[in-house]
Amino acid sequence: VGIADMFAGMGNLLKVLTREIENYPHFFLDFENAQPTEGEREIWNQISAVLQDSESILADLQAYKGAGPEIRDAIQNPNDIQLQEKAWNAVCPLVVRLKRFYEFSIRLEKALQSLLESLTCPPYTPTQHLEREQALAKEFAEILHFTLRFDELKMRNPAIQNDFSYYRRTISRNRINNMHLDIENEVNNEMANRMSLFYAEATPMLKTLSNATMHFVSENKTLPIENTTDCLSTMTSVCKVMLETPEYRSRFTSEETLMFCVRVMVGVIILYDHVHPVGAFCKTSKIDMKGCIKVLKEQAPDSVEGLLNALRFTTKHLNDESTSKQIRAMLQ
């Protein structure tokens, strides 16, 4: 091999290596301390106002016990007026609580669309946006983190569906008997229909976010869809790189930030898979799926089992023919 060929070969190798690095953007995203710059402040304040309720929503959902015993007694004893009343009085405050969760999803949807607008607009690339506007990137991450936690809790709580079904059956029966109930001022028929669709989803918050992202893409016809999907794939890549690079990991001051990063990575993959025309698992995807699954499996098994299940069961394209056998096997 001549010297010139050797140099040409090295040059090609370098090109491949830099292309690999270019393909998967990497920088440190300060999830712990990112502060808004002047340019970010207006949107940041708007999103913060929504996010400040997220912890109380999760606490409220976690404490949700349902009215199972009261409903069961009422159904088994249809002529016992006292038991009917007891069940109804147990269910009504729960329905008001479910309405609060549903209304929060609408606020979250609007917040996400404002964020996407900021993080995808020209002249900057999505990578430049995320690197420059770290406080907004952090809020985007917080929305995803909340979404996965909410849906995980909702999936483990069948009482929600049961309570709401009982509420709807009882209210339509009362309508037939011309009884007007105070709760109808709070949750009227139209609201009950919308809530019903929301809670029928296995992962209602994720569905809300993917609908919001799709809506954002279709509304902004002049903005290439790549701006949005690249924003998502960049976020995934940044989380993955931070998790697998000791130098970055050592900058996290708490174990919680590590789990936050893991959860956000999974959330963005699922969102990308729902929004991108061919999804996250095919060869042309800008997400290094093998690398992401590998990073996931390196964490404590009990802390990531729910997230692996989220990839198995809430993505859209995992079972497509274009998904490699290797990726499927990794998620078995």
Q: What is the pLDDT of residue 175?
A: 62
Which range is least confidently modeled, 64-68, 161-165, 225-229? 225-229
Q: What is the pTM of this model?
A: 0.86
Q: What is the pLDDT of residue 162?
A: 95
Contact (Cβ atoms closer than 8 angstroms) between residue 258 and residue 252: yes
Residue 165, CB-side half-sphere exposure with 13 Å CA sphere: 10
Contact (Cβ atoms closer than 8 angstroms) between residue 133 and residue 37: yes
Q: What is the pLDDT of residue 19?
A: 36
Q: Between residues 17 and 198, which one has the greater pLDDT?
A: 198
Whether the per-residue pLDDT at 166 is higher than 50: the answer is yes
Whether the per-residue pLDDT at 1 is higher than 90: the answer is no
How far is the C-alpha of 185 from the C-alpha of 171, rounded, in Å?
12
30: left (phi over 0), alpha (psi -120 to 50) or beta: beta
Q: What is the pLDDT of residue 265?
A: 94
- Per-residue confidence at 10, pLDDT binned at 50, 70, 90? very low
How far is the C-alpha of 278 from the C-alpha of 284, rounded, in Å?
9
Query: What is the distance between the terminal CA atoms of the chain, rounded to a whole angstrom?
Result: 46
Q: What is the mean pLDDT of residues 82-111?
A: 94
Q: What is the pLDDT of residue 88?
A: 92
**Which residues 6+ apart lie within 8 Å of 302 measured at CB?**
none
Q: What is the pLDDT of residue 122?
A: 82
pLDDT digits (tens, 9 = 90+) for 270-290: 999 998 989 999 988 999 999
Residue 79 DSSP SS3:
coil
Whether the per-residue pLDDT at 93 is higher than 50: the answer is yes
Helices 159-176 and 81-120 sit at what angle, rounded to 10 degrees? 120
Q: What is the pLDDT of residue 20?
A: 39
Give whole-number Cα distances, 9 to 17, 21, 22, in Å.
Answer: 12, 19, 20
Q: What is the pLDDT of residue 150?
A: 96
Whether the per-residue pLDDT at 17 is higher than 90: the answer is no
How far is the C-alpha of 285 from the C-alpha of 27, rounded, in Å?
20
Whether the per-residue pLDDT at 105 is higher than 80: the answer is yes
Q: What is the pLDDT of residue 176?
A: 53
Q: What is the pLDDT of residue 330?
A: 92
- Per-residue confidence at 172, pLDDT binned at 50, 70, 90? confident
Q: What is the pLDDT of residue 306?
A: 86
Whether the per-residue pLDDT at 47 is higher than 60: the answer is yes
Whether the per-residue pLDDT at 24 is higher than 80: the answer is no
* Element holding 257 (H helix, E strand): helix 255-275
**Which residues 6+ apart lie within 8 Å of 196 measured at CB?**
164, 168
pLDDT digits (tens, 9 = 90+) for 311-330: 998 899 999 999 999 999 99
Nearest to 101 by CA among 48, 183, 172, 164: 164
**Which residues 6+ apart lie within 8 Å of 183 measured at CB?**
92, 95, 96, 171
Question: What amino acid is encoded at 71 in this protein?
Answer: I
Q: What is the pLDDT of residue 11?
A: 46
pLDDT digits (tens, 9 = 90+) for 241-253: 889 888 888 888 8
Q: What is the pLDDT of residue 217?
A: 87
How far is the C-alpha of 189 from the C-alpha of 162, rounded, in Å?
18
- Per-residue confidence at 144, pLDDT binned at 50, 70, 90? very high
Cα angle 226, 32, 37; round to 5: 65
How far is the C-alpha of 294 from the C-alpha of 82, rounded, in Å?
57
Q: What is the pLDDT of residue 35?
A: 85
**Which residues 6+ apart lie within 8 Å of 148 measured at CB?**
206, 263, 266, 267, 307, 310
- Percent of the chain at pLDDT > 90 equals 53
Q: 123 preceded by cis ω (within 30°)?
A: yes
* Element holding 168 (H helix, E strand): helix 159-176
**Which residues 6+ apart lie within 8 Å of 41 measured at CB?**
none
- Per-residue confidence at 28, pLDDT binned at 50, 70, 90? confident
pLDDT, the chain, mean: 86
How far is the C-alpha of 199 from the C-alpha of 196, rounded, in Å?
5
Whether the per-residue pLDDT at 49 is higher than 80: the answer is yes
Three-state secondary structure along 212-246? Answer: HHHHHHHHCCCCCHHHHHHHHHHHHHHHHHHHHCH
Contact (Cβ atoms closer than 8 angstroms) between residue 281 and residue 318: yes
